[in-house]
């Protein structure tokens, strides 16, 4: 079994979707079925990091890279590298904004995450535990509920 995969993908929405699908397949191949919590969490983290790489880290003519690696600490390390280093990581500051919450989700879903500078660009990484919790304990990641009201459909 390969304990690491790495691939380059086009810095387009299609490339970001493919990154998520590749993650689902790889986690399944590593013994974490598509419908498992670990697989869903890894897909969500990859979706957010790949979307950021495509939206904010894109340099015309340059791809982004996805790397997944199993660690000895029973975690999967997710790394998404892009070619742009001049962008600072930003959290949402406007509560009415429809963008800017990706890193908040990553920080809630991952055990740890960070950014590493590269010669060209940066790598944003996150680590997710592979073992499911023994007992269902309420955590911020499990207590978030979607906003149900819409400004167009207020009752």
Question: Would you call 39 helix, strand, or coil by DSSP?
Answer: helix
Record the tokens describing residue 50, joined without a space.
Answer: 């790949």
What is the mean pLDDT of the segment spanning 124-139?
71
- Which phi and psi (to 5°) does residue 24 adopt? -60, -45
Instruction: Please answer whether residues 117 and 81 qualify as being in contact, where contact means their C-beta atoms are separated by less than 8 angstroms.
Output: no
* pLDDT surpasses 90 at 131: no
pLDDT more than 90, % of the chain:
52
* pLDDT surpasses 50 at 26: yes
* pLDDT surpasses 60 at 81: yes
Largest CA distance in the chain: 54
**Residue length of the chain:** 155
What is the mean pLDDT of the segment spanning 45-59?
89
Q: How confident is the model at residue 97 (pLDDT cuts 50, 70, 90)?
A: low
Whole-angstrom Cα distance, residue 81 to residue 98? 24
Q: What's this model's pTM, rounded to 2 decimal places?
A: 0.78
108, HSE (Cβ side, Cα atoms, 13 Å) = 14
């Amino acid at each position: 079994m390969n304990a690491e995969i790495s691939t380059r993908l086009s810095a387009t929405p299609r490339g970001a979707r493919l990154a998520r699908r590749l993650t689902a397949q790889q986690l399944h191949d590593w013994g974490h079925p598509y419908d498992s919590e670990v697989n869903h969490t890894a897909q969500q983290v990859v979706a957010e990091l790949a979307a950021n790489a495509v939206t904010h880290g894109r340099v015309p003519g340059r791809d982004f890279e996805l790397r997944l690696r199993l660690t000895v600490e029973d975690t999967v390390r997710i790394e998404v590298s892009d070619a742009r280093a001049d962008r600072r990581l930003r959290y949402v500051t406007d509560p009415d904004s429809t963008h800017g919450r990706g890193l908040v989700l990553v920080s809630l879903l991952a055990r740890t995450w960070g950014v590493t500078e590269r010669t060209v660009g940066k790598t944003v990484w996150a680590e997710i535990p592979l073992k499911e919790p023994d007992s269902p304990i309420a955590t911020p990641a499990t207590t978030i509920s979607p906003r149900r009201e819409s400004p167009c459909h207020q009752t």
